[in-house]
């Protein structure tokens, strides 16, 4: 489910001790899935794996380091006064065609992104059908940039509606030449440039001779494209490629060995059980908490998802500087506590039918019954398996649960209208660590209809913090409030795997959309 949001976090340890894959030399061949990309358009990506290709070709003002903190990239430095941010570009920056990078290119790139959002919003407002229009992958930039200008060739001035530490995470969008924004294969500022592209078949990158850092050891990266995920795995098994990107649950069977590595990475897909606070009986915190204490999320992660996940109890990634790891007591499975909460809320089995009930406002007996909506991804039934597990678990403690399978479009409609009890869904989290979109009352991603003055105040306070320690402090408080209120249940971030016979990186944090991160600085 493509729900734009705000967050991407933590680091993975990359090298399993038992693995001994050979180091990459000057060429790497990678297998990916691609059926839709017919042109190189870094500001309008349409396939996940191509984002990792674009990451090698296009740099931003900032980048996110191994500790998931923003650092300067094309920007040499930045300052801020109030809501005005000033970025100074590095000297002697060039695009891959040899033309200089100027502040006007940054301004033109940002305005192109903002205009795309504005055009889509205007079209959507004028369309009575309520059709969704493409606002672009970098649409969240509209929340950070009020205006942008070039003071001189190396100085960019951005006025922002949000004056806080999270602003720097939004400055990681790719910078393109002002004259090439509507072109296919625009020149970039990254370590590599396009040499050859046959859509659906093959793409080759070579070293960008004008890159602003030390030239990479790996001179050529070839990408072979396959239509199905299984074909990508097969290409790796038969050594047609040196490495392969996969998110298939079945890839959990591939373990690092003496000649191969399985590098797990966290995706930006946060799996959740949403609970509608505006629907009886989930308007009761006791019922929501009881559900949280009954569901064994570790079992779901281990048995249904085959461990292809990164567990988290909040919308932030466990193990990162942003995660509050002092809240475990709220999230541990505890059936006895769940039953006590239900009893406190007035639920009991008065007619011995195995289903809890209680009188409603009219004095009529109502069952503890919930409709659980679930939609699936193509060729992947793990979410439906999860729904069946939740049904079986809750029913063993007196709930009645009806599983209703729907399409993605139907699920979106149900969530938007608040016409559900429970829903298994996922958020596609963005780079900035700010979950206000799903926690502030009335915000677009708050499908659970959660309302908390305390949480809204905390999210607003977060957006006034300019230093990382202050930002971290408020994030800890937000997660504590999340644990107390139980707006919904976070399960985990989905994970994927890079299978490779050639080690190409030493970074700690290989991430979705940056699966070859570190290859540009790898040295034998």
Residue 262: the pLDDT is 87
Q: What b/e sequence results for 275-300 when a residue is b if at least 16 CB atoms lie within 10 Å of its CB, and e otherwise?
A: bbbebebbebebbbbbbbbbbbbeeb
438 touches 427 (CB < 8 A): yes
How many beta carbons lie within 10 A of that of residue 402, not counting itself?
A: 12
430 touches 5 (CB < 8 A): yes
Instruction: With CA atoms as reference, report the closest residue to 9 among 465, 472, 491, 473.
Output: 472
Region of residue 10 (phi > 0: left; psi between -120 and 50: alpha; otherwise: beta) = left
Residue 20: the pLDDT is 58
DSSP 8-state symbol, 99: P
How many beta carbons lie within 10 A of that of residue 150, not counting itself?
A: 17
Question: CA-CA distances (angstroms) from residue 485 to 292, 314, 454, 467?
Answer: 11, 12, 10, 27
Residue 11: the pLDDT is 32
Instruction: With CA atoms as reference, report the closest residue to 356 among 284, 303, 406.
Output: 284
Residue 25: the pLDDT is 92
**What's this model's pTM, rounded to 2 decimal places?**
0.90
Evaluated on CA atoms 270, 402, 442, 481, the torsion sign reads negative
Region of residue 68 (phi > 0: left; psi between -120 and 50: alpha; otherwise: beta) = left
pLDDT in tens, 415-426: 999 999 999 999
Q: Is 13 exposed, middle or buried (0-12, 13-18, 19+ CB in 10 A)?
A: exposed
How many beta carbons lie within 10 A of that of residue 66, not counting itself?
A: 13
Weakly modelled stretches of the chain, pLDDT under 70: 1-20, 130, 250-258, 378-380
Helix 285-294 and helix 335-344, axial crossing angle in degrees, nearest 10: 160
Alpha helices in 332-407 (DSSP H): 335-344, 382-395
The structural domains of the chain, with segments of one domain joined by +, span 59-182, 267-495
Q: Tell me the helices (H) and strands (E) count for the chain, helix number first.
A: 12, 21
pLDDT in tens, 226-272: 999 999 999 999 999 999 999 877 666 666 666 788 888 999 999 99
Q: How far is CA 145 from the centre of its chain?
A: 21
**Sheet containing strand 84-89, strands side by side:** 75-81, 84-89, 155-159, 147-152
Residue 509: the pLDDT is 84
Residue 255: the pLDDT is 63
pLDDT in tens, 375-395: 977 666 899 999 999 999 999
Residue 248: the pLDDT is 79
CA 302/CA 308 separation, integer angstroms: 8
DSSP 8-state symbol, 175: P
Evaluated on CA atoms 512, 66, 464, 79, the torsion sign reads negative
Two tokens, residue 128: 């009575």
Residue 260: the pLDDT is 80
Alpha carbon dihedral 315, 317, 322, 328, in 10-degree steps, equals 80
How much of the chain is in helix, strand and coil states, percent to nearest 5?
30, 25, 45
Checking 145-152 for CB contacts under 8 A at 24+ apart, the result is 145/110, 145/114, 145/170, 146/83, 148/106, 148/107, 148/110, 148/111, 149/107, 150/102, 150/103, 150/104, 150/106, 150/107, 151/86, 151/103, 152/103
How many beta carbons lie within 10 A of that of residue 65, not counting itself?
A: 13
Q: Does domain 267-495 have CATH number 3.10.105.10?
A: yes
CA 111/CA 129 separation, integer angstroms: 28
Instruction: With CA atoms as reference, report the closest residue to 522 among 24, 56, 22, 20.
Output: 24
3-state secondary structure (DSSP) of residue 69: coil
Fold of 59-182: Dipeptide-binding Protein; domain 1 (3.90.76)
């Amino acid at each position: 489910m493509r729900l734009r949001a705000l967050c991407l976090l933590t680091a993975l340890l990359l090298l399993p001790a038992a693995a001994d894959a050979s180091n990459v030399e000057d060429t790497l061949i990678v297998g990916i899935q691609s059926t839709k990309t017919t042109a190189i358009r870094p500001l309008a990506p349409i396939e996940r794996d191509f984002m990792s290709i674009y990451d090698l070709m296009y740099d931003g003002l900032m980048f996110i380091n191994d500790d998931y903190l923003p650092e300067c990239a094309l920007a040499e430095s930045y300052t801020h006064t109030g809501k005005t941010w000033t970025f100074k570009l590095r000297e002697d920056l060039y695009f891959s065609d040899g033309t200089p990078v100027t502040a006007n290119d940054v301004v033109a790139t940002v305005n192109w992104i903002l205009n795309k959002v504005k055009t889509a919003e205007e079209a959507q407002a004028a369309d009575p059908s309520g059709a969704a229009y493409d606002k672009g992958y970098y649409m969240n930039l509209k929340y950070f940039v009020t205006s942008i200008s070039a003071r001189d060739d190396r100085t960019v001035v951005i006025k922002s509606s949000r004056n806080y530490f999270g602003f720097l995470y939004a400055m990681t969008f790719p910078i393109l030449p002002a004259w090439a924004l509507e072109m296919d294969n625009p020149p970039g500022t990254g370590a590599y440039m396009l040499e050859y592209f046959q859509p659906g078949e093959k793409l080759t990158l070579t070293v960008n001779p004008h890159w602003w850092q030390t030239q990479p050891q790996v001179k050529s990266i070839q990408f072979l494209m396959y239509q199905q995920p299984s074909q990508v795995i097969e290409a790796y098994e038969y050594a047609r490629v040196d490495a392969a990107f996969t998110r298939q649950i079945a890839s959990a069977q591939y373990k690092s060995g003496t000649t191969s590595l399985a590098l797990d990475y966290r995706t930006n897909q946060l799996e959740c059980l949403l609970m509608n606070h505006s629907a009886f009986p989930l308007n009761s915190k006791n019922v929501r908490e009881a559900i949280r204490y009954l569901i064994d999320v570790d079992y779901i992660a281990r048995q249904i998802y085959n461990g292809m996940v990164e567990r988290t109890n909040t919308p932030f990634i466990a193990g990162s500087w942003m995660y509050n790891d002092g809240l475990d007591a709220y999230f541990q499975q505890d059936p006895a506590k769940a039953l006590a909460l239900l009893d406190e809320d007035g639920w009991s089995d008065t007619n011995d039918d195995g289903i809890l009930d209680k009188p409603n406002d009219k004095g009529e007996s109502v069952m503890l019954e919930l409709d659980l909506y679930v939609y699936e991804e193509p060729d992947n039934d793990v979410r439906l398996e999860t729904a069946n597990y939740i049904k079986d678990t809750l029913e063993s403690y007196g709930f009645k649960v009806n599983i209703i399978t729907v399409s993605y479009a139907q699920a979106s409609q149900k969530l938007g209208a608040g016409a559900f009890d429970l829903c298994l869904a996922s958020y596609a989290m963005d780079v900035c660590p700010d979950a206000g979109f799903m926690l502030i009352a009335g915000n677009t991603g708050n499908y659970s209809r959660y309302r908390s003055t305390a949480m809204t105040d905390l999210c607003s306070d977060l957006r006034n913090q300019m230093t990382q320690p202050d930002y971290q402090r408020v994030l800890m408080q937000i997660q504590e409030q999340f644990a107390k209120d139980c707006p919904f249940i976070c399960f985990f971030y989905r994970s994927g795997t890079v299978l490779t016979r050639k080690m190409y990186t030493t970074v700690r944090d290989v991430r979705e959309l940056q699966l070859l991160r570190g290859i540009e600085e790898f040295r034998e």
